[in-house]
Amino acid sequence: MSDKPHLLLVDDDEIFCQVLERALSKRGFEVIAARTLEEGLEQAARHMPEYAVIDLRIGHESGLVLVKELKQLDANTRIVMLTGYASIATAVEAIKLGAVHYLTKPADADEIVAALHKEEGDPSVAPKDRPLSVKRMEWEYLQKVLMEHDGNISAAARALGMHRRTLQRKLDKRPVKE
Reported as a pLDDT band with limits 50, 70 and 90, residue 23 is: very high
Q: Say whether 134-172 and 6-117 share the same fold.
A: no
Average pLDDT of the segment spanning 50-64: 91
Residue 13's pLDDT is: 87
More confident residue, 154 or 87: 154
Whether the predicted pLDDT of 1 surpasses 60: no
Q: How many angstroms separate the CA atoms of 173 and 109, rounded?
A: 26
For the chain, domain boundaries? 6-117, 134-172
Q: Where are the beta strands (DSSP E) in 29-150?
A: 30-34, 51-55, 57-58, 61-62, 78-83, 101-104
Average pLDDT of the segment spanning 15-21: 90
Residue 178's pLDDT is: 58
Q: Which of 42-46, 148-152, 165-169 has the highest mean pLDDT?
A: 42-46
The count of residues in the chain is 178
Work out the widest C-alpha separation in the chain, in whole angstroms: 54
Taking Cα atoms as reference points, which of 82, 70, 170 lies closest to residue 90? 82
φ, ψ of residue 102 to 5 degrees: the values are -135, 115
Q: Which of 6-10, 96-100, 129-133 has the lowest mean pLDDT?
A: 129-133
**Taking the domain 6-117, which CATH number applies?**
3.40.50.2300
Topology (CATH level 3) of domain 134-172: Arc Repressor Mutant, subunit A (1.10.10)
Mean pLDDT estimate for the chain: 87
Whether the predicted pLDDT of 126 surpasses 70: no
